[in-house]
A and B are shown apart, each in its own frame.
Chain A
Amino acid sequence: MSNQSFDINAKLGKSWKKPPLVQQKWLRWTLLTGFLVYLVLAYWSIDVNWARVYVGLERGQKFILAFTDPDFTSRSADIWEGITESIVMTVASSVVGIAISIPIALGAARNVAPLPVYLVCRGIIAISRALQEIIVAILLVAIFGFGPLAGFLTLSFATIGFLAKLLAEDIESMDRVQAEAIKASGARWAQWINYGVQPQVMPRLIGLSVYRLDINFRESAILGLVGAGGIGATLNTAFDRYEYGTAAAILLIIIVLVMALEYLSGAVRARVQ
């Protein structure tokens, strides 16, 4: 089959090297030196106030030492209230967010939805992803006032951008022929989704949902800092009062809960493969 002109003898006895990523030599070197120069200048431009760091180190040390003696008791009622509020926010926003995400994901998958629907759903996802949780939370706190309602709405909104996007991508990369076989039997659209598409993306949907539950809990701890309820509010108050013992206790509880969720999501994902 050697009908192309290829001089095999010129290649024999010579070492072989992988072709470089950037073909032109000058461009390769310009990119590399440019990157190094930028790096040096960038580090140069960060100016550090060492006197301030020295003072801060002491405060940091006090904070870290508080971890050796976390104070669970003196604010236990506040902590308990914050934790339950966070969990309620997490579960409620995950359920609502996931329920809304699924139809949007179907609309945002090009192989399932017609073009106009696709564009609208992709638009919703883009908006949800462009607005960072904290920004949304600040806005919603301004509208609904302090408290978990703003946090719940923020997390539901953020869940849509995350879950719908990743689920839509999974739908787009599904096996086309399996779905085609269902279509060929004369199934209607909803039946086609239920039999041909849903079984293929179910493991991913479950995995992403548990993962999102995990993220929502962690986010609920942050959102309190801007007044959107949850354990974050309690944590913020503890910092404001310089009660590092209580703050350490709250952080330890968050770490334990996040690790438990991490373990749970790993276990669930391993089982649904």
Chain B
Amino acid sequence: MLRLEKLAKTYKTGDQALQAVDIEIPESQVLALIGPSGAGKSTLIRCINRLVEPTSGKVYLGDTELTRLSSGGLRRERRRMGMIFQEYALVERLTVMENVLSGRLGYVGFWRSFMRKFPQSDVDEAFRLLDRVDLAHMADKRADELSGGQRQRIGICRALIQNPALLLVDEPTASLDPKTSRQIMRLICELCRERRLAAIINIHDVALAQMFVQRVIGLRLGSVEFDGPPSGLTPEVLTSIYGEEDWEATIETVDDDDVATQ
């Protein structure tokens, strides 16, 4: 349902963030993108919904070629791609409800959104989603009053209310403690399963990625270095992605966690 063909991005500074990346993601597959800082994970995700303009290559969402769309067409297609951000990216001075409803902006006209008069079905859906993540009682709080984990749950609601076919998730757990990180990852993966969404999740934490996803892609210096199931991440593979280091400990903890959760 999502296909990247020879996607490349070179920044004005001359940094080659992505070099001819080919990836194909089938319906409702959750995929983790791992790799060292600067490998191009964030750029890859942002090239898909064109928050960053790719230099060359094509992106197809279903049958639509996103890379060729005009700004109006791009706006319509962006509605089908929910994005979840590192550091949550909630608009801090808006209420929780406004933040969630901002996911519907692509569907309502300017005056309605300006007057905060969203259709009843949108408001109902917002409350249902907030209730799903146990934050319905916080609807009228300002977003900056919430804790990190709560904010990320709001960020998830904002992405889901778009009714997307694909989730683009950029380091969802980077600023969260280990327990909250797992809860957030579990929530994202559960919701993807419930709604049969495909997702690309950028993530630093290899162990966490292995715990939750069906497929892992390792990126190094803007190219795909590994593509396979989480069990394929051997010390040799991790060395090829990240460089020389003792990987036994990383993989070890994963095994322990797997035992614990089974």
A residues lining the B interface (CB < 8 Å): 175, 177-178, 180-188, 190-192, 194-196, 199-200, 202-203
A-B contact pairs, 10 of them (CB 8 A): A177-B89, A181-B89, A185-B103, A186-B79, A186-B162, A188-B105, A190-B110, A190-B114, A195-B94, A200-B93
Taking a contact as CB atoms under 8 Å apart, the answer to whether B79 and A185 are in contact is yes
The 9 A-B pairs with the shortest beta carbon distances in the complex, nearest first, are A186-B106, A187-B105, A186-B78, A181-B89, A199-B93, A186-B79, A184-B83, A177-B89, A186-B75
A interface: dominant SS: helix
Taking a contact as CB atoms under 8 Å apart, the answer to whether A200 and B51 are in contact is no
Max chain B CB contacts within 10 Å: which of A177, A186, A192, A194?
A: A186
B69-92 toward A: CB 8 Å interface, digit per residue (1/0)? 000000111110111010101111
Chain B residues contacting A199 (CB-CB under 8 Å) are: 91-94
Give the CA-CA distance A187 to B83 in the complex, in Å: 13
Chain A residues contacting B105 (CB-CB under 8 Å) are: 182, 185-188, 191-192, 195
Whole-angstrom distance between the Cβ of B143 and the nearest chain A Cβ: 9
Taking a contact as CB atoms under 8 Å apart, the answer to whether A185 and B85 are in contact is no
Contact of A200 among B77, B82, B83, B91 (CB under 8 A): B91
Whole-angstrom distance between the Cβ of A75 and the nearest chain B Cβ: 49
Give the CA-CA distance A191 to B78 in the complex, in Å: 14
Number of residue pairs A-B, CB distance < 8 angstroms = 84
Give the CA-CA distance A100 to B260 in the complex, in Å: 63
Give the CA-CA distance A190 to B115 in the complex, in Å: 13
Q: Please tell me if B113 contacts chain A, counting CB pairs below 8 Å.
A: yes
B residues lining the A interface (CB < 8 Å): 49, 51, 75-79, 81-83, 85, 87, 89-94, 98, 102-107, 110, 113-114, 155, 158, 162, 168
Closest residue of B by beta carbon distance from A186: B106
Q: Quick one: given A184-B51, A186-B78, A186-B79, are A191 and B113 in contact (CB under 8 Å)? A: yes
Taking a contact as CB atoms under 8 Å apart, the answer to whether A184 and B114 are in contact is no
Q: Quick one: given A190-B110, A194-B113, are A185 and B78 in contact (CB under 8 Å)? A: yes
Chain A residues contacting B78 (CB-CB under 8 Å) are: 183-186
Taking a contact as CB atoms under 8 Å apart, the answer to whether B110 and A182 are in contact is no
Taking a contact as CB atoms under 8 Å apart, the answer to whether A195 and B102 are in contact is yes
Chain A residues contacting B92 (CB-CB under 8 Å) are: 175, 178, 199-200
Chain B residues contacting A185 (CB-CB under 8 Å) are: 78-79, 82-83, 102-106, 158, 162
Contact of A181 among B83, B93, B113, B114 (CB under 8 A): B83
Taking a contact as CB atoms under 8 Å apart, the answer to whether B79 and A195 are in contact is no
Whole-angstrom distance between the Cβ of A239 and the nearest chain B Cβ: 48
Taking a contact as CB atoms under 8 Å apart, the answer to whether B102 and A177 are in contact is no
Give the CA-CA distance A177 to B89 in the complex, in Å: 6
Give the CA-CA distance A192 to B71 in the complex, in Å: 14
Closest residue of B by beta carbon distance from A190: B110
Chain A residues contacting B104 (CB-CB under 8 Å) are: 185
Chain B residues contacting A182 (CB-CB under 8 Å) are: 91, 102, 105
Whole-angstrom distance between the Cβ of A111 and the nearest chain B Cβ: 13
Contact of A187 among B51, B106, B168 (CB under 8 A): B106
Whole-angstrom distance between the Cβ of B171 and the nearest chain A Cβ: 11
Taking a contact as CB atoms under 8 Å apart, the answer to whether B76 and A181 are in contact is no
Give the CA-CA distance A159 to B30 in the complex, in Å: 54
Chain A residues contacting B75 (CB-CB under 8 Å) are: 186-188
Taking a contact as CB atoms under 8 Å apart, the answer to whether B91 and A180 are in contact is no
Give the CA-CA distance A103 to B168 in the complex, in Å: 33
6 further contact pairs, Cβ within 8 A, besides A177-B89, A181-B90: A175-B92, A178-B92, A183-B51, A185-B82, A186-B79, A202-B93
Chain B residues contacting A180 (CB-CB under 8 Å) are: 51, 85, 89
Chain B residues contacting A175 (CB-CB under 8 Å) are: 92
Taking a contact as CB atoms under 8 Å apart, the answer to whether B87 and A195 are in contact is no
Give the CA-CA distance A195 to B168 in the complex, in Å: 21
Q: Quick one: given A186-B162, A194-B113, are A178 and B89 in contact (CB under 8 Å)? A: yes
Closest residue of A by beta carbon distance from B106: A186
Chain A residues contacting B89 (CB-CB under 8 Å) are: 177-178, 180-181
